[in-house]
Chains A and B, each alone.
Chain A
């Protein structure tokens, strides 16, 4: 069964902390994505990567950075966590872009910044 695995299901961090969210996929997909999901706002794309060491900003990259050192792993970094980054974070991977390819999501990390 193909999988996208996120390292933590729930996290509680303090304001100002540096936070790492890890995501690993076993499908040999080229593309990986980080979204956040908030009530009433839906899924919003933070960053994505189409190859190792490549990254592109999504719609809401401010306050975040990413790292993709290996094809299977895509990390989201909150440089200095703030309370407005409290959210559900979802990682996804896909063989390609556009609607020709489905996205497979990880089970999500619910981050609370206090």
Chain B
């Protein structure tokens, strides 16, 4: 299994819908993760952390499935401004650094 893997998308979703995407990881000892958001031609920005108990921030919910080794990001009542690439971040297998996924592109359609 790759250290981190994401479906590149794009996910084309109508405004107001709920969308979810996953990120699989290989480091079974991983305790915490991040989701970053990257707008077109901009830098990645931290969206939310993911802990074993999950995390919710408004319309966004991040969850961890330790048994199957994936994290998920769910966006409810999607807005046009949610259109972006979402990068997951997981601990490296090899050292104490982090690995960025290649991202999932999300397009919210009016």
| Chain A interface residues toward B at CB < 8 A | 40-43, 45, 48, 90, 97-100, 102-108, 110
Contact = CB atoms under 8 A, between A and B. Distances in A.
Main SS at interface, chain A: mixed
Contacts of A45: 97
Contacts of B45: 105
Contacts of B30: 99
Nearest to B32: A99
A99 B93 CA distance: 12
Contact of B91 (A48, A99, A105): A99
28 contacts: A42-B100, A42-B101, A42-B103, A43-B87, A43-B100, A90-B43, A97-B96, A97-B97, A97-B98, A98-B91, A98-B96, A98-B97, A98-B98, A99-B32, A99-B34, A99-B49, A99-B89, A99-B91, A100-B32, A102-B49, A103-B44, A103-B98, A104-B46, A105-B43, A105-B44, A105-B45, A108-B42, A108-B43
